[in-house]
Amino acid sequence: MNIYFDVETEGFDPKIDKIITIQYQELDYNGKPKGNLIILKEWESSEEEIIKIVYNELIIKDKWNWVIIGTNMIFDLTFLFEKFKKYNLPLKKTLSEYLYDKPLIDIKSALIMANNLDFRGSGLDKMTNKESNGKIIPEYYKNKEYSKIEEYIKQETYSFTEFFQKIIHKLKELKDGADS
């Protein structure tokens, strides 16, 4: 199973800042959405509740038997694992061990390569039709503009999957060229 995975936070420090949303969606082998986009919202329950849902659904039930796909996954997973610790959710492995043992696709490198190996200007918002970066999310959250957060997430997910599908298509073309 392939899972697009992302979090939105109220800041950059996983020890003090909250995860305000966790979103994920199953993707097929061409990068197209296969299931509904799930958006777990802290403001509808609590950070602890959404962390426990992800822990139970994606870690315990599936035993992390999936390929996690996203952008800047180290940020997202660092936050997630810090929150697992905060809420005393047992893990058999550290984040580093999971990263070595489990498949992970992070398109951050592809975005940088597509931007002439320049990190500046290589964000998903610069390389796709994504309208902005996530720096506005804490402000939306502070102002309780939750519908704007949800709209941002939906637009970001669409931009991500569209770009990811293009990467897959190009890599298949490269493979087919090498096979001939």
Query: What would the 3-class secondary structure string for 128-178 be?
Result: CCCCCCHHHHHHHHHCCCHHHHHHHHHHHHHHHHHHHHHHHHHHHHHHHHH
- In this structure, of 39-43, 128-132, 148-152, the range with the lowest mean pLDDT score is 128-132
Structural domains of the chain in order of their starting residue, each with its CATH number: 2-179 (3.30.420.10)
pLDDT of 177: 79
| pTM to 2 decimal places | 0.90
pLDDT of 57: 82
Q: Give the pairing type, strands 2-9 and 19-27.
A: antiparallel
